[in-house]
Amino acid sequence: MAVPWLSLIVFLPAAGAALLMVLRDDAAVRWVALSVTLADLALCLGLLAGFDGSTHAMQFTETRDWVPALGIRYALGVDGISALFVFLTALLGVVSVLASWAAIATRVKEFMVSLLVMQTLMLGVFAALDLFLFYVFWEAMLIPMYVIIGVWGGEGRVYAAVKFFLYTLAGSLLFLVGVIVLYFQGGRTFDILALMDGDYPFAVQAWLFFAFLVAFAVKVPMVPVHTWLPDAHVEAPTAGSIILAGVLLKMGAYGFLRFSLPMLPDASVHFAPLMLALSALAIVYGGLLALAQDDLKKLVAYSSISHMGFVTLGIFALNIRGLQGGILQMFNHGVTTGALFLFVGLIYERTHSRSIADYGGLMKVAPVYTVFLALFTLASMALPGTNAFVGELLVLSGGFAVSLAAGAAAVLGALLSAAYLLSMYRRVALGPARVAERHEVWDLNARELAAALPLAVFVLWVGLYPKPFLGIIDASVSHLLAQVHGQEGGP
Partner 1 sequence: MNEAQLLQSILASLPEIWVVTAACILLIGGLFVPKGRGDVLVLASVAVVLIAAAMTLMLAGEVRPAYSGMFLADRFAVFIKVVCYLGTALTILMSRRYAEIEGIERCEYYVLLLFALTGMMIMASATDLLMVYVGLELMSLCTYVLTGFMRTERRSNEAALKYVILGAVATGVFLYGVSLVYGLTGTTQLDAFAASAGEGGADTGLALAVIFIVAGLVFKIGAVPFHMWVPDVYEGAPTTITAFMSVGPKAAGFAVVLRVFLNPLVAASDVWIIVAVLAVATMALGSFVALVQDNIKRLLAYSSIAHAGFALFGVVAGGADGIASVMLYLLIYAFMNLGIFGAVVMMRNGARSGEAIEDYAGLARSHRVLALLLLLYLFSLAGIPPTAGFFAKFYVLVALVDQGFVILAVIAVLLSAVAAYFYIRIVMVIYMREPSGAFDPALTPGLRVVLAVTALGTLGIGLFPAWFLGLAQQSVFGG
The reply to whether omega before 224 is within 30° of 0 (cis) is yes
- Give the whole-angstrom CA distance, residue 153 versus residue 35: 25
- C-alpha separations of 400 from 264, 275, 488 in Å: 24, 15, 21
- 240 near partner 1 (CB under 8 A): no
Binding segment for partner 1 (CB under 8 A), chosen from 66-74, 229-237, 283-291, 364-372, is 66-74
- 26 near partner 1 (CB under 8 A): no
Q: Contacts from 173-181 at CB under 8 Å and sequence distance 24+?
A: 174/211, 174/214, 174/215, 175/135, 175/211, 175/212, 175/214, 175/215, 175/216, 176/135, 176/139, 177/211, 178/207, 178/208, 178/211, 178/212, 178/215, 179/131, 179/132, 179/135, 181/207, 181/208, 181/211
- For partner 1, which residue of 103, 176, 193, 436 counts as binding (CB under 8 A)? 176
**Residue count at the site for partner 1 (CB under 8 A)?**
33
- 214 near partner 1 (CB under 8 A): no
- 206 near partner 1 (CB under 8 A): no
Pick from 4, 36, 221: nearest CA to 115:
36
- For partner 1, which residue of 15, 28, 70, 405 counts as binding (CB under 8 A)? 70
- 482 near partner 1 (CB under 8 A): no
Q: Which is nearer to partner 1, 124 or 325 (CB)?
A: 124
Q: Which is nearer to partner 1, 48 or 174 (CB)?
A: 174
- Least Å distance, CB 304 to partner 1, is 25
- For partner 1, which residue of 38, 39, 57, 181 counts as binding (CB under 8 A)? 181
- 170 near partner 1 (CB under 8 A): yes
The reply to whether omega before 265 is within 30° of 0 (cis) is no
- 393 near partner 1 (CB under 8 A): no
- 464 near partner 1 (CB under 8 A): no
- For partner 1, which residue of 162, 365, 430, 482 counts as binding (CB under 8 A)? 162
Q: Which is nearer to partner 1, 54 or 106 (CB)?
A: 106
The interface with partner 1 within residues 46-65 (CB under 8 A) comprises 65
Alpha helices by DSSP H, listed for 292-361, are 296-317, 320-351
Q: Which is nearer to partner 1, 184 or 440 (CB)?
A: 184
- Least Å distance, CB 73 to partner 1, is 11
Q: Which is nearer to partner 1, 43 or 147 (CB)?
A: 147
Q: Contacts from 461-465 at CB under 8 Å and sequence distance 24+?
A: 461/387, 462/328, 462/331, 462/332, 462/335, 462/386, 462/387, 462/390, 462/391, 463/379, 463/384, 463/385, 463/386, 463/387, 463/388, 463/389, 463/390, 464/385
The phi and psi torsions of 176 (rounded to 5 degrees) equal -60, -45
Q: Work out whether the CA dihedral 248, 122, 340, 257 comes out positive or negative.
A: negative
- 19 near partner 1 (CB under 8 A): no
- Least Å distance, CB 281 to partner 1, is 26
CB count in 10 Å sphere of residue 428: 24
- Give the whole-angstrom CA distance, residue 196 versus residue 402: 25
Q: Which is nearer to partner 1, 71 or 252 (CB)?
A: 71
- For partner 1, which residue of 102, 158, 357, 464 counts as binding (CB under 8 A)? 158
CA dihedral 462, 463, 466, 469 (to 10 degrees): 20
- 140 near partner 1 (CB under 8 A): yes
- 69 near partner 1 (CB under 8 A): yes
- 446 near partner 1 (CB under 8 A): no
- 155 near partner 1 (CB under 8 A): no
Q: Which is nearer to partner 1, 161 or 315 (CB)?
A: 161
- For partner 1, which residue of 30, 157, 258, 297 counts as binding (CB under 8 A)? 157
| CA diameter of the chain | 69
Binding segment for partner 1 (CB under 8 A), chosen from 2-10, 167-175, 284-292, 473-481, is 167-175
Cβ proximity of 81 and 476 under 8 Å: yes
- For partner 1, which residue of 38, 103, 174, 412 counts as binding (CB under 8 A)? 174
Give the residues across from 78 on adjacent strands.
Answer: 59
Q: Which residues bind partner 1 (CB under 8 A)?
A: 65-70, 110, 135-136, 139-140, 142-143, 146-147, 150-151, 157-158, 161-162, 165-166, 169-170, 173-174, 176-177, 180-181, 183-184
